[in-house]
Amino acid sequence: MYTQWKPDSWRSKPAAHQVEYMDKVKYRSVLDSLMLQPPLVFPGEIHKLTRQIAEAGSGERFIIHGGDCVERFQDCNEETITNKIKIILQMSTILTHALRKPVLRLGRIGGQYFKPRSSERESLNGREVMTYRGDTVNGFPEELRAPDADRLTRGYYCAAATLNYIRAMISGGFTDLHHPYNWNLHSIGKTEEWAEYSRIVEQILDAIHFMESIGGMEAVGLNRIEFYTSHEGLHLGFEEALTRKERESDSYYNAGAHMLWIGERTRDLKGAHLEYFRGIINPIGIKISSRIDPDELNELIHILNPDNTPGRLTLITRLGIDKVEESLPRLIRKVLDGGHKVTWSCDPMHGNTVSTGEGVKTRRFDDILGEIKASHRIHSEIGSSFGGVHFELTGEEVTECTGGAVKIMDSDLSTNYQSFCDPRLNYAQSMEIAFMLSRLMKA
């Protein structure tokens, strides 16, 4: 039914959201040199991740997937990476404790440098410029908006440096669960929930100290965590250049991240993104909005996972608080009827973006929480597994999403709004979501 796949067979299909480079010779030479760079991930890690995603699909594991909407090159520094790993680690520890099952940590990190944008151009400082498409394409300041292929090389090296530092933190002990890193609860202190949250953290630390005192940490592997990277596979020239052949088999894998996902804007059944993704062995995510037709979803699944391999596909629903009740049951039932083995995750961010009166993009904490709660309930009612959550978050004290125990108001957003793209949960809001999730899903 399908033609032979090659890393470049996507080139014969219509490719949405690609970048037009003025200097085509330079672009080609950047891709040629990227093809010679060492892989950032190893196929054995990809296979292991696929097995763990399959476990999340059958309810034996839970996925926490999170990070920036778009990473900037300036985020490739010790403090920002440390804070991001710390928040994901702390959220996963809270959830492991409550759910009594392993939690898979997946970062939107080490390669999340490309963005699909709804318009080609935007207004900046009163002038019309090309939209910002992520640091590997163009720069945020007005004078850097022209795409520059050298940025692709810089993206590869920033991803390599980020991943190298994460691997060093893990092997060097930062992520040991008994490491005395600061839980920083002061930022949500003095709120009504404080007493309950600090009690939970005390219980977790107690359990860890107990394990340590009986010498069990190493025995049960608590001293070494696993952490996987992911990004939206958008720029197909770049992804093709990072495609490698697995030595033991004839299979191809993307060597730039453990997992890649297809965005809501590029999941066209006849498009180039599906063509590229169907040929790589990495586990794949697909973002799904309420715009998808359930039959289209089944076809999408069939193209990307014709062998129905568990763990291969994660359906990341981003329906929005207004649409989740109507859309999600239809989608789940259709997938169940089709007999497809998928893992479901909920992205409560992208269907809930709103603009304030001043035109600032934000998301309301209660909408985010509301979509999670509704998705969890709908999955339970239908008898399917709520396998994970997908957030845009940061370990920094930014003011981009409103609400939460820290009560950020529309008028507070300008205090520390840093995102170049979508608004992220800050440290306190992310912790609070983890506590709420654990209350919701407590075993």
Q: Which residue is nearest to ligand PEP, using beta carbons?
A: 263
Please give the residues from 199 up to 228 whose contact with ligand PEP meets the rule CB under 6 A: none
Report the run of H or E that residue 278 belongs to, with start and end: helix 272-278
| Residues ≥6 apart with Cβ < 8 Å to 180 | none
Report the run of H or E that residue 329 belongs to, with start and end: helix 324-337
DSSP characters over 339-357: T---EEEE--STT-EEE-T
Q: Which of 232, 235, 238 is nearest to 31 (CA)?
A: 238
How far apart are CB 168 and Co ion at their closest, in Å? 28
Beta carbon nearer to ligand PEP, 263 or 348? 263
Distance between CA atoms of 152 and 30, rounded to whole angstroms? Answer: 7
Distance between CA atoms of 94 and 287, rounded to whole angstroms? Answer: 26
Q: With binding defined as CB under 6 A, does residue 263 bind ligand PEP?
A: yes
Beta carbon nearer to ligand PEP, 14 or 44? 14
How far apart are CB 64 and Co ion at their closest, in Å? 17
Interface with Co ion by CB under 5 A: which residues?
Answer: 69, 422
Beta carbon nearer to ligand PEP, 130 or 405? 130
Within its chain, how far is the Cα of 24 from the centroid?
A: 31
How far apart are CB 264 and Co ion at their closest, in Å? 10
Please give the residues from 94 up to 133 whose contact with ligand PEP meets the rule CB under 6 A: 116
Neighbours of 253 (CB within 10 A): 23
Q: Which stretch binds ligand PEP (CB under 6 A): 28-36, 177-185, 262-270, 357-365?
A: 262-270
How far apart are CB 350 and Co ion at their closest, in Å? 6
The partner in contact with residue 318, picked from Co ion, ligand PEP, none with C-beta cut-offs of 5 to 8 angstroms by kind, is: ligand PEP
Beta carbon nearer to Co ion, 422 or 432? 422
Distance between CA atoms of 269 and 413, rounded to whole angstroms? Answer: 39
The partner in contact with residue 286, picked from ligand PEP, Co ion, none with C-beta cut-offs of 5 to 8 angstroms by kind, is: none
Residue with tokens 């993009």: 361
- Using alpha carbons only, how large is the chain's radius of gyration in Å? 21
The partner in contact with residue 264, picked from Co ion, ligand PEP, none with C-beta cut-offs of 5 to 8 angstroms by kind, is: ligand PEP
Give 399's DSSP letter.
-
How far apart are CB 218 and ligand PEP at their closest, in Å? 37
Beta carbon nearer to Co ion, 102 or 116? 116
Here's the x/- map for ligand PEP, 398-437, by CB under 6 A: it reads as: ------------------------x---------------
Beta carbon nearer to Co ion, 225 or 286? 286
Beta carbon nearer to Co ion, 222 or 286? 286
Burial of 291: CB neighbours in 10 Å, binned 0-12, 13-18, 19+: exposed
258, 46 Cβ separation under 8 angstroms: yes
Q: With binding defined as CB under 6 A, does residue 264 bind ligand PEP?
A: yes
| Residues ≥6 apart with Cβ < 8 Å to 426 | 393, 394, 396, 397, 398, 399, 400, 401, 406, 408
The partner in contact with residue 287, picked from ligand PEP, Co ion, none with C-beta cut-offs of 5 to 8 angstroms by kind, is: ligand PEP
Sequence letter at residue 311:
G
DSSP characters over 129-174: EEPP--TTT--SSGGG-S--THHHHHHHHHHHHHHHHHHHHHHHTT
Contact residue for ligand PEP among 61, 273, 318, 334 (CB under 6 A): 318
How far apart are CB 293 and ligand PEP at their closest, in Å? 17
Q: With binding defined as CB under 6 A, does residue 135 bind ligand PEP?
A: no
The site that binds ligand PEP (CB under 6 A) totals a number of residues, namely: 10
Contact residues toward ligand PEP (CB under 6 A) are 69, 116, 232, 263-265, 287, 318, 350, 422
